[in-house]
Amino acid sequence: MGITISLVGLFGLVLFFLLRSKTLGYGSAFIAIMFGFYLAATGAAEPVNHLTQAVLTAVSDMVA
């Protein structure tokens, strides 16, 4: 659960800076969508959580 809260903060901070600099490309749209899923906790949030956990596990396995 701790990783979800920190990802919401991270996505929110990135979104804030992207909106502030008036830069909105494909990457910005992806960050905004991810922030919305985590913030609203819709029905789509569970698959996104699983995908994020899988990516974080894969990255940590590659580093270690």
Query: What's the pLDDT tens digit per position in 7-40?
Result: 777 877 887 887 788 777 777 778 777 777 777 6
Question: CB burial class (10 A; 0-12, 13-18, 19+) of residue 22?
Answer: exposed
Q: What is the pTM of this model?
A: 0.50
4 token code pair: 């979800």
Q: Could you tell me the residue ranges of all domains in the chain?
A: 2-63
Sign, Cα dihedral of 19, 23, 24, 26: negative
